[in-house]
Chain A
Amino acid sequence: MRELALIVAVLAAFLCAPWLTDSGVVLNFLIMVLFATLLGQAWNILGGYGGQFSFGHAAFFGTGAYAMAVLQTVFAVNPWLALPLAILCGVLVALVIGVLSFRYGLRGSYFALVTLAFAEVLRILANTFDFTGAGVGLQLPLREAAGNMQFADKTGYLYLVLSFVAFGLMLSWWLRHSRYGAWLSAVRDNEASALALGIDALRVKLAAIMLSAALMAAAGAFYLQYFHYIDPHIAYGPAISIEALVGAIVGGLGSVFGPLLGALVLHLLGEATRNLMGDLPGISLVVYGVVLVLIVMFIPRGLSGLFGRRA
């Protein structure tokens, strides 16, 4: 129950942020931290709780973003209706990848490579087809209105991404306190034992990849609404997949608050290096790499491991 109280407190703190500051820079920083948190939460479900390390979570992110864009620009669907549909599209992609890889018992580096390959295939497809804007990408026409999920100030976006993160926190908490979560951890820790104890490991893993993809697709949809633009490289490139997995690992695998801690620390470091060294391209990936190595070497349980068992 302490965890639940902490979840509420964290959410309340973000909720109050717009009253404490109206600095666009600060709010933008918080939004990007929450956005990265969402990516980490998504990856943490499959990678942390489920033990299946994916290098291609961009497949779900990009599908969410593109579905959101195509539904609005091509089919003139209202974004609030497009959002659940975009999430559904991400989940369907996850089902396909999950069935193809888990059915054939892929795990470890094989699974990681297959997910990476799927994201690449989707990037190439997005680069090819006209309805996804090919290499140019898709631009979301500016129509600022809450009913159109485009907000005049940053507070609206902050609350939008915060609501996704809130859902992610509750989901993480539920995984720690439910039968499904126990099954997922069992499959992660020893699949043979899980099978011997009556657990349908394939279905458990499929559910995990689909839940994970739902959060990832929501992140993609949010990205589109916030930046009004998506192209194949942003949507399906490796940067998003890396941000998702680094945040989750740095924060602490299989922990409720890990992704938030990881995202916060990585973005603070990112800001610091940008101030020190200017906007060098690729510098954030270097920072991520260094932090990842340090964490894996010195605190393998991640930042949340510093605060007790699977905080």
Chain B
Amino acid sequence: MKPAILEARNLAISFGGLKAVADVSLTVAAGSLTALIGPNGAGKSTLFAMISGFLAPDAGTVHFDGRLLSGLPPYAICRLGLARTFQIVQPFAAQTVRENIAVGSHLHEPRRRQALALADAVAERLGLAGELDKPAGSLTTAGRKRLELARALATRPRLLLLDEVLAGLNPQEVAGMIPVIRGICDEGVTVLMIEHVMQAVMNLAEDIWVLANGCLIAHGGPQQVTRDGAVIEAYLGKGMAARLAALDEPDAPGAPGKSDGAAHD
């Protein structure tokens, strides 16, 4: 196995009485396209927030490229090469798409003109070239998701955390984004994506972690995870794994049913 670029150990956090994440340890191999899936409220976004420095965990550590991130503020983590997107998109609404992306490219480019030119190039890659002069607030959901990804990408990260960048997109738009995400990974950026759209997860991810109720319940390749009894139960309810197994004997595709159950958002 390739060396881990990200290693979370025993992360835990509670909000009041609610244990949102309990003792989660996971690794992401350098250069991989890894997915983090799980039912609504499983704690996926909270896990991202702890990794990216927005939330301080109650316990546990995060190592990025062998470096301990504990206590570092979010901007410092980004400067190390770990960028994230937000599930609820956070554009600079009054600024144009170009200006939005340029904020990202300014991380490594102090000159204004060059940063704007870099923003144009990133926008081109993500199919935002036609929207460069529009205010970010006027974009459609799909456009805003692309912008969220474009800005993060413009910081030239080595690890990109994507929080449901495909949510709210129609199937055609999803199909359009899949090669974009694969392209990012092919250029050497490691990607860890939270995703409910199973079509994309099955298509893209080589490695999947499954979180439910704040705990990791499964880990493996796409085929392995979709057959996992615990995963089926987490998505469809207790006893479902046994009933499904009884229903379609040896190797019938159980996956589509599960993906439907998870695609709602």
Known contacts A189-B95, A196-B52, A197-B155; A177 and B112 CB within 8 A of each other:
yes
Closest to B90 in A: A193
Q: Decide if B90 touches A190 in the complex (CB within 8 Å).
A: yes
A286 at the interface (CB under 8 A from B): no
Q: Decide if B79 touches A195 in the complex (CB within 8 Å).
A: no
Segment 146-202 of A: residues with Cβ below 8 Å from B: 177-179, 182-183, 185-186, 189-190, 192-201
Known contacts A179-B112, A198-B155; A193 and B93 CB within 8 A of each other:
no
CB-CB under 8 A from B42, the residues of chain A are none
CB-CB under 8 A from A200, the residues of chain B are 73, 75-76
Q: Decide if A197 touches B90 in the complex (CB within 8 Å).
A: no
Q: Mark B100-116, 1 if CB is under 8 A from A, else 0.
A: 00111011011110010
Which label, helix, strand, loop or mixed, suits the secondary structure of the A interface?
Answer: helix
Known contacts A178-B112, A186-B103; A196 and B79 CB within 8 A of each other:
no
Known contacts A192-B54, A197-B152; A182 and B83 CB within 8 A of each other:
no
Q: Decide if A189 touches B75 in the complex (CB within 8 Å).
A: no
Assign chain B's interface to a size class: 20 to 34
B151 at the interface (CB under 8 A from A): yes
Known contacts A179-B115, A185-B95, A189-B92; A197 and B54 CB within 8 A of each other:
no
Q: Decide if B73 touches A197 in the complex (CB within 8 Å).
A: no
Among B52, B54, B94, the one with the most A-chain Cβ atoms within 10 Å of its Cβ is B94
- The number of A-B residue pairs with CB atoms under 8 Å apart is 78
Complex Cα–Cα for A103 and B93 (A): 25
Q: Nearest Cβ in chain A — how far from B174, in angstroms?
A: 24
B91 at the interface (CB under 8 A from A): yes
Q: Nearest Cβ in chain A — how far from B200, in angstroms?
A: 22
Q: Decide if A197 touches B112 in the complex (CB within 8 Å).
A: no
B99 at the interface (CB under 8 A from A): yes
Q: Decide if A183 touches B106 in the complex (CB within 8 Å).
A: yes
CB-CB under 8 A from B109, the residues of chain A are 179
Q: Decide if A195 touches B112 in the complex (CB within 8 Å).
A: no
CB-CB under 8 A from B196, the residues of chain A are none
B84 at the interface (CB under 8 A from A): yes
Q: Nearest Cβ in chain B — how far from A280, in angstroms?
A: 39
Among A178, A183, A193, A194, the one with the most B-chain Cβ atoms within 10 Å of its Cβ is A193
Q: Decide if B86 touches A193 in the complex (CB within 8 Å).
A: yes
B28 at the interface (CB under 8 A from A): no
CB-CB under 8 A from A179, the residues of chain B are 106, 109-112, 115
CB-CB under 8 A from B94, the residues of chain A are 189
Q: Nearest Cβ in chain A — how far from B93, in angstroms?
A: 7
Q: Decide if B78 touches A196 in the complex (CB within 8 Å).
A: yes
CB-CB under 8 A from A192, the residues of chain B are 54, 86, 90
Complex Cα–Cα for A304 and B73 (A): 38
Q: Nearest Cβ in chain B — how far from A178, in angstroms?
A: 6
Q: Decide if A190 touches B92 in the complex (CB within 8 Å).
A: yes
Complex Cα–Cα for A183 and B103 (A): 7
CB-CB under 8 A from B104, the residues of chain A are 197-198
Known contacts A182-B103, A196-B83, A198-B78; A189 and B112 CB within 8 A of each other:
no
Q: Decide if B106 touches A196 in the complex (CB within 8 Å).
A: no
Closest to B84 in A: A196
Closest to A198 in B: B78
Complex Cα–Cα for A196 and B52 (A): 8
Residues of B within 8 A of A (CB): 52, 54, 73-76, 78-79, 83-86, 90-95, 99, 102-104, 106-107, 109-112, 115, 151-152, 155
Cβ-closest 5 pairs across A and B: A198-B78, A189-B92, A195-B74, A193-B90, A198-B107
- Interchain residue pairs with CB less than 8 A apart (13): A177-B112, A178-B112, A186-B92, A189-B93, A192-B54, A193-B103, A196-B74, A196-B83, A196-B85, A197-B151, A198-B79, A198-B107, A200-B76
